[in-house]
Structure 1
Amino acid sequence: MATRLAFLAALAVLLAVCPPQPVAAGSVTCKPSPLEIVFAIDVSSSLTRTDFANLKKFLQAMAEHLPIAETATRPAVISFSTNVKVEVDLGDANDLQSFKNGIEAIPYYRGFTATGSAMQTARRTVFSKSRSGASKLLVVVTDGRANYPGSRAEAIALVRSESEELRNAGVRIHAIGIGDIWLKDELVAIAGSDDYSMIHDFDGLKALVDNMVKDICSVRCDDLGEESFPGQCFSGTQRIVNVKKTHNKALKRCEKAITYEYKYCGNSHLCKDVDVTIEDCVNGVRKIVTTWEDYDVKQQKCVLRRSVQETDCNAIEECKEPVAEIMFILDSSGSINDQNWRLQVNFVHRMVSNMKVGPGAIHIGVIVFGTNVWNDIPLGSIGSKPQLLQRILALQRRVNQWTNTGDGIAKARTELGRLSRPGVSRMAILMTDGESNRGANAISEAAKLESEGTTIVVIGVGKDLKREELQAIATPPLSDHLFYATDFNKLMDWAAKISEETCESITPPDPSLCDLPPKRVVSTCFNSLQKVTEIKYEFDAQGRCNKKIVSRTISPCKVICTDPINGNQYYEGETWKSECATFVCKRPTSQTEVFKPTAQECPGSENRCYGTSSSANFKCHDDRGALFGHCSCQAQNGSPLLRVITADANAKP
């Protein structure tokens, strides 16, 4: 599947269960203790060679901090794509250099994403060699959804099954996702808990090393004191975990008290949004370059990030989805000359050439807008693909026109509502080179169109675009549905990428998506207007999983708050609950303002909420998602506090 590029700043909450032991400035290491650690790394087709090189560097950097020895830490590495291979087995590397050599020897693979098979291999083949009494940790690194073996539903079912089998066997699982917040549910399925980290791209792996090392250390009764572990700044919000370890002399045991804080973390709203460009073809390979800015908390400024995806210059697969309604909305305003109009039409022709068109397949329609709106090809009116392609090439430009984008979108909504077949996926593809300046409000009309079940793809062409307007029109995630070309001559370069995303968007959702919670996004502000979009998946009466989009607009524009746990967005004045914590979105009075969850509830068994009057002994998750049988939920200074027994004070270190 296509790599999920980030449209939001990454959420990466890395929490520690023991304090660091410094060996050099800025680095940590573990005390020697028996540990079996297995790295399962995704080497599927979505990885570039640069990504693969960074993945190897991450593994080697981790190794620098681990006490690798037969009596201490024994590392192993499994690679997975379509096939799964144990690259380094437990006991193969008994010192640092031999492990590094094993990593360096891993070849560059391609293929599907067989995450579940990799986890099964870890359980059956690798952890079966574990030493008695050793701790066991599986670290899974992936940048996409499991899609092999079998269907997507079968692949994710295997992931969940293997996660449960591994955890029942005493293996703790930590998942690392490279991408955006839409990958979160995949990571939860892998880890079986909220024991995961998320970063934008493979370049960010090096930032995880110290926190990962701290996290895998064993908890000992001589490791007492307080520490705070801030997560990364995520769309202006930061989650901080405070851990206090004490020695309860009366009960002769170590205890860990965990509290959470949430605060603003800088002017991240001033950072640049995602920008995607396509480079010229070189030796049959074309690079898709994605750039964006993150707010760096330490530097207190926006930092530029970059990701590169390599594609075949000429490859463009036929869209095999048999049934869909697709409406093209083309700009014929005065800024588009005859040459650019012809390039725009040729692009549509190329897109449709790769679709299965016909009465029982994809229906195509074309709307042209300028000062007025013209329904040049009514939806589904031409069932013959050769005749449709001929009609597209004959589309005529209207001259001396304004840019009436809103009425063009409104006409698409009318036609799709009138002519679409029941239960069939709908998509509108808008192409424009400028800001709307006539007719209905384009953002309001986009919200109405989305709420009637249509996904909107936006292609902006030129250097004078109002990107805030296009970002508000396109359906989230913008990484899949918003594209920019510097001029119409570059438009054809996007054909393969947009065809791929179009086919994926109109494909009926995988049934596993109906198990996921809704995603909520608040758009950027444009002309005092914002669009609020909620995307959820629901089963219909026939048991089919369908995508449902509910959108509306708000005015005037408001402050946007991002839930630091699940990435959903809310606007000023809204209240919401997430994982037992209640939040209120409000305008910050300072950059250090702290938000705490309510004290009435706190984390309990299987992530359910328990009141503060709950029994003192119930099963609950600690700060990393591990299940404990002895813990209590208390109220302390207006916040929930989770108290966990971490070690036997009489046990030998």
Structure 2
Amino acid sequence: MEELSVVATAPYIYRVNATFVPLLRQIFEIFINFSTDCKAAKLADIVFIIDESGSIGVQNFQLVRSFLYSIMNGLEISPSKVRVGIVMYNEKPTAQVYLNSFRTKDELLNFIKILPYRGGGTNTGAALNFTRENIFVTEKGSRKDKGVEQVAVVITDGDSQDAVSEEATELRRAGVTVYSVGVENANYEELMMMASYPPQKHVFIVDSFTKLKSLEQSLQKTLCYNIIRQAVSVGTRSSSIKEGANLCVSFAGCIQTEEADIFFLIDQSGSIYPADFVDMKKFLLEFIETFRIGPQYVRLGVAKYADSPTLEFDLTTYTDKKTLEEAVQRIQQVGGGTETGKALTFMSQLFKTAMKTRGHKVPDYLVVITDGKSSDEVKAPAEALRAQGVTVYAIGVKSADVQELEEISNDPKRTFFVNDFDALNPIKDDIITDICTTEVCKDVPGDLMFLVDSSGSIYPEDYEKMKDFMKSVISTSFVGQDNVRIGVMQFSSTQEVEFNLNTYFTKNGILEAVDAMRQKGGGTLTGRAISEVSQYFSPAQGGRPELQQRLVVITDGEAQDEVKAPAEALRAKGVLVYAIGVMEANTTQLLEISGSPNRIYAERDFDALKDLERQLSLELCDPERGKENICFPPGFGSRGTRPVQQRIRARVLPKRVLPGGGGVQQNPEPKTAGWRHQNRTGSRFHQGIF
């Protein structure tokens, strides 16, 4: 060891035994032909926050190096694409790699091989704070001011010796999506506290360091899928416009929900911190942006409660978006106890009055937000509200009682629980999707084919979950000969049509046919299946090309043949293609199949399909969801155009931004130097912007 200490540089001196030699061979294998799964994920700032405490040990830390190497080798790393940073921590965090430290991927990968290990304690909270203040900053290479997605991946093996909840909340409030990876003795509750919502999509756990390798593909796929799907908001991303490029902004939503009365009942008890109350108001503001506000359209009101309920403002108080937003900003927290039952009783009369002021019955919705267990009974007043026809959503935060939330909503799909108030915003999309789906799906005739993977790599129980997913989506459709027609084809090494678009015209008939499906087994020839399914959209097979035609592809693995050309040919016929990948599916192939990042979905397992049911149902009923593309000429992003941008945001965007937010695309080869407006729904461009 003395000779080694002369040759080597500390801390890169290791004492190993014979059993460690095969492990070293595995650790330093170089992945020359890395997966193409992330080729389409081209823009993100990702920081890995790595626990290097003494409980890990030298041998296990080599496995961490190998894990990092593999993940990064599969990313499109460069200064203009994906940037990577690394923070190591024990009692004290240190920056090993800033987001602008390396110019090439090879430089970064070579550094990973010699990433230092120090040992010591485990202050995860300090590491989260350090990363927010020192790494996700512009001067260290962060592109957050240009709207680039900010991602943190925390890898730890044990309990933190300091608090993590508040620091994790602040990191997420700064706009960072947080993934947590727990190994061996990692604290599950801390992993959940750190991760973004929903935790089931952002928390990864293995019981030993040798099993980290099994997470490589899963974590990489999740990261890349979310990078691809990340929506781009106009407000934060206008400065990222490249010179000479057209800026195209698309907005999507559920403008079909023309009439509704929505009340928010928000907990203002003393257990809620001021910053958390601000997060709750942000949630309300985001919600308001989603709908067309007006006396004849959607009306919103807010009531607060602690020991007693109070009406902040009624449905008729503010009749436009601007004054409504200003009213929300003025809401003040009073404090007190938590008597949710009394507050629910109070809401009953407000909804009765609403029908009188409206003059006729419209859908009524109540969104309840609370952070603790009620000191009075909630079940009876909640039942009374629902008996009035009010749809109730229950959102619990921190110390809220989940059973009580379910008593309030009486529906698991309308019950939500989050660890912190900053996680409220993602819930907004779930609620809005639920509100929108029923209205959007009315009177939307079309053809829908399912193309489902039936290969041998799918476990029988997972195959049944896939069938359940199909049945749930079918159940939300308005099935009929003159409405929505549905067909199903299975594929593996060969293809088999279960039923055509004109085989069944009743929902029960279709559901029974799906129940009767049997798994085929075999390989995964997805490209051939897409080519084959194309003919089943023809009139001879019950198709109606003059209507909206859609294909939903569900697969669990990488295609063994080429998918891009057959998918392009199908889309050229006007068929909208949705690609759902589960487990081992290739994200880049999903994008090639769908042709749009807005129509791909990647899930870690088949259980996660349940979370996708309503979202896909809404997309299928109204693929564009009121979507508009507004394209601006080169230079629209400079400081001189800021006043114009602000006026567009103030006058156009509030009327068009709906669930899912907005997206910005850049056209690298502008075809016109003027303004152009692409509107797929036929509605006119809003007048009077300038």
Fold equivalence (TM over 0.5): no
Which bracket does the TM-score occupy, shorter chain normalised?
0.3 to 0.5
Q: What's the TM-score, normalizing by structure 1?
A: 0.37
TM-score normalised over the length of structure 2: 0.35
> When you count helix as a share of all residues, which structure comes out higher?
2
